[in-house]
Amino acid sequence: MEEANNTFDVIVIGAGNGGLVAALTLQKKGKKVLLLEKGRVPGGFASSFKRGRFEFDASLHELCEYGTPENKGEVYYLFESLGLTDKITMIPIQETFSIYTLDTHEQYTMPVGKEAFLGQMEKYVPNSTASMLHFFDLCEEVKQALAYLNETKGHPDTNVLMEKFPNFMVVAPYSVQKVLEKIRMPIKAQEILTTYWSYLGSPAESLSFVHYASMIYSYITNAPVIPKNTSHEISLTLSEEFTNLGGKLEYLSPVKEILIENGSVHGVITEDNRRFLTKHIIADISPHEVYTKLIDQEKVPDKAKKFVSSRVLGARGLCVYLGLNKSMEELGLDRYSYFIYHTLNSNVEYKRMHNLYNGNLVATLQNNHEDTSIMCLTSLLFGDVFDQEVTEENYYEVKEKIAENMVRSFEEATHVNIHEAIEEIEIATPVTFARYTNHPDGVIYGYLAQGYDNLLPRIMNEPNEMYIKNLHFCGGFGSRLSGYSSAYLNGEQEALKTFGEMKNDTI
Ligand SMILES: Cc1cc2nc3c(=O)[nH]c(=O)nc-3n(C[C@H](O)[C@H](O)[C@H](O)COP(=O)(O)OP(=O)(O)OC[C@H]3O[C@@H](n4cnc5c(N)ncnc54)[C@H](O)[C@@H]3O)c2cc1C
């Protein structure tokens, strides 16, 4: 009896975006699902917190691939199938991005919509239209080819790929920089177009064209959205749907061990020594954590150990959350997002971002109530500079210095004084993010996607990367890489694969 109560068709570890969607997808298919979360709320990074009269989104700046009821994106279709679209209010953001540079004193604002984007680029960079049109054609083909790869679950027919997507096959191995150079896009247009590089955590010379094209095209053609009541609203809705359907969601239940028998998943043990059995696990946490800490090392195949040591950790995050006692109008700011770099050369800026006080950041800004606003400044760090330079003794001093530098950077770039309007401030560092999600070194964008270890190879290789039978990974460390939409879509994908595998289960 005891055994039956503790046995599940699937156990999902971690209630982040990917884990929530995976759990709900399988519960909707009638499976008995246990979702174990170490924290006390759902969502992982997709959460919010309150300070004084302000509620801050912990992470979400923009959700892409959502769209509108008239122009549905992939995430819209997913949420519709899960019955969520009428339960969450999304607000479209009517701009693509604004960039300000500190050293070269440039400023560009790009609108949403292909025509508008093209027109604005031509104004900033005369004679860029032909190469931009070429770029859009490539983006469209990339979009369709990726849809085909998803349909065929990483086993495409190469003849179909060659016939239907010949340009995709040509650009697939190359970086954004290589392809934009090849289509003779003027340098300034390339620089403006690659503004979003920091969202994917790799500079133009090593960022996959396919990865970047699929993201930027979605932002340009379909306005990004944010939920009216922060990303916590989405996480809460997903978790409620799951439990309303009978799913078992246990908070404050960190998994301390994954049980393996004969090379296959057998169950888990939680920190408080509860034991749950299953033949299928979907982990919404990093393979680093799973293979090095949660599984008896003798049961971890050498290939899995090699896999983990070959992956490079991606960007660490530094966030400054500001509650301002002035509205955006009073401050003289009218954009939602401000990308601030020293220059527009992403390769140079990527190197700069191996420095604690690099001053590059993305700021998002919204009115709160009538007379207040909320601003979030996010800066990225690459490499291990944080671990090298920050100690227990200097931690608070360093994090305040970094925050001060970020506020100063924003003010210098926009010529707007915000520090005098600060009513509440909270600073999150890689230490905060590591404690919150257990991700190694507090990385916020999963594994670094560069060179040959990029979106496409990850999707194609994924079927070969299951080193323990029926142990799947989803979310930001999954094959679709980091980001809200990637994590949601990957959660569904891994759930459907798991559902398929269950057909082979013996009683
Ligand atoms: C500051 C910031 C800004 C961002 N901005 C954007 C943005 O604008 N747009 C965008 O698309 N993406 C953005 N991202 C990235 C995005 O938030 C992530 O890619 C996405 O949320 C990852 O989801 P996930 O499924 O991997 O779950 P995670 O959020 O990584 O959650 C993992 C969950 O697992 C739980 N867990 C860990 N270990 C255990 C264990 N042993 N047992 C049980 N539970 C465990 C954790 O508590 C957590 O709840 C941002 C991230 C950050 C931090």
CATH number of the domain to which 44 belongs: 3.50.50.60
282 lines ligand 1 (CB under 6 A): no
Is residue 507, in this structure, part of any structural domain at all?
Answer: no
Q: Left (φ > 0), alpha (ψ -120 to 50) or beta: where does 398 sit? A: alpha
d(Cα 210, Cα 199) in Å, to the nearest integer? Answer: 15
In a domain, 396, yes or no: yes
How large is the greatest C-alpha to C-alpha distance in the chain, in angstroms? Answer: 74
The answer to whether 449 touches 314, Cβ cutoff 8 Å, is: yes
Question: Could you tell me if the CB of 46 is within 6 A of ligand 1?
Answer: yes
Taken in order 443, 449, 453, 455, is the CA torsion positive or negative?
positive
Residue 91 falls inside a structural domain? no
Domain final residue pick, 198, 221, 244: 221
User: Does 365 reside within a domain?
Assistant: yes
Does ligand 1 lie within 6 Å of residue 413's CB atom?
no
Output the tens digit of pLDDT for each of the chain's 507 residues: 456 689 999 999 999 999 999 999 999 999 999 999 999 999 999 999 999 999 999 999 999 999 989 989 999 999 999 999 999 999 999 887 899 999 999 999 999 999 999 999 999 999 999 999 999 999 999 999 988 887 887 678 888 888 999 999 999 989 999 999 999 999 999 999 999 998 888 899 999 999 999 999 998 998 899 999 999 999 999 999 999 999 999 999 999 999 999 999 999 999 999 999 999 999 999 999 999 999 999 999 999 999 999 888 999 999 999 999 999 999 999 999 999 999 999 999 999 999 999 999 999 999 988 799 999 999 999 988 999 999 999 999 999 999 999 999 999 999 999 999 999 999 999 999 999 999 999 999 999 887 778 888 888 788 888 899 999 999 999 888 889 999 999 999 999 999 999 988 876
Which range of residues forms the domain containing residue 349?
315-437
Among protein residues, the one whose CA lies closest to atom 3 of ligand 1: 59
| Residue to probe by mutation, ligand 1, list 74, 232, 285, 431, most atoms within 8 Å of CB | 285
Count the domains in the chain. Answer: 3
Nearest CA to ligand 1 atom 27: 16
Q: Quick one: 299 and 366 in the same domain? A: no
Looking from the CA of residue 476, the nearest atom of ligand 1 is 26
Residue 107 covered by a domain: no
Are 278 and 8 spatial neighbours (Cβ–Cβ below 8 Å)?
A: yes
DSSP 8-state symbol, 33: E
Q: Are residues 340 and 418 in the same domain?
A: yes
Residue 356 to residue 342: CA distance in whole angstroms: 15
Decide whether any atom of ligand 1 lies within 6 Å of the 18 Cβ: yes
CA distances from 114 to 96, 154, 179, 442 (A): 11, 30, 19, 36
Q: Whose CA is nearest to atom 13 of ligand 1?
A: 483
304 with 453, same domain: the answer is yes
Q: Are residues 210 and 197 in the same domain?
A: yes
Q: Tell me if 51 is assigned to some domain.
A: yes
